[in-house]
Amino acid sequence: MRLDVILRVLAKLLIPFAVMFASYVQFHGDFGPGGGFQAGVIIAAAVIFYGLIYGLPSAREVVPDVLVEAMIAIGVLVYAGVGIAGLLLGGNYLDYFVLDHDPVHGQHRGIFWVEAGVAITVSAVMLKIFYVFAGRRRDAGGEGS
């Protein structure tokens, strides 16, 4: 894709809009369709699109493997941390109402952090799957050998 100027320019124009749309889906997921899973997939799709246009090594420079693996753990810890915070504050696991003195604010705060953890984990897992499959070498003997 190095010589395909049109695709490279389109990628530079479209990727920021994809990330912006992912943030819209993330932050409006509790009011309509969307949420952490969808936002995570859109963010990963933007990075995968970047990798397809500019090459896998360039994508790995933008989002390194170490960061992807850390994001998988961080997202799960954020999700679980919300549940543990509910337990420590005297509620049930993932009981959002105890996260603030106003139960409505606690509900919004809990949903926000749970969805953030889901978005982080989903985007990182999708990128890890892409990196693993895109980085493997083709069999030198061809098919069937």
pLDDT by position in tens, the chain (length 145) = 666 889 999 999 999 999 999 999 998 876 777 789 999 999 999 999 999 999 999 999 999 999 999 999 999 999 999 999 999 998 899 888 888 888 888 888 888 899 999 999 999 999 999 999 998 876 555 555 4
Gap between the Cα atoms of 128 and 62, Å rounded: 14
25 within domain boundaries? yes
Q: Please tell me the total count of domains within the chain.
A: 1
99 within domain boundaries? yes
pTM for the full model?
0.85
114 within domain boundaries? yes
What pLDDT is recorded for position 37? 93
144 within domain boundaries? no
Domain span at residue 119 reads: 5-135
Picking from 70, 14, 20, 22, the residue whose alpha carbon sits closest to that of residue 42 is 22
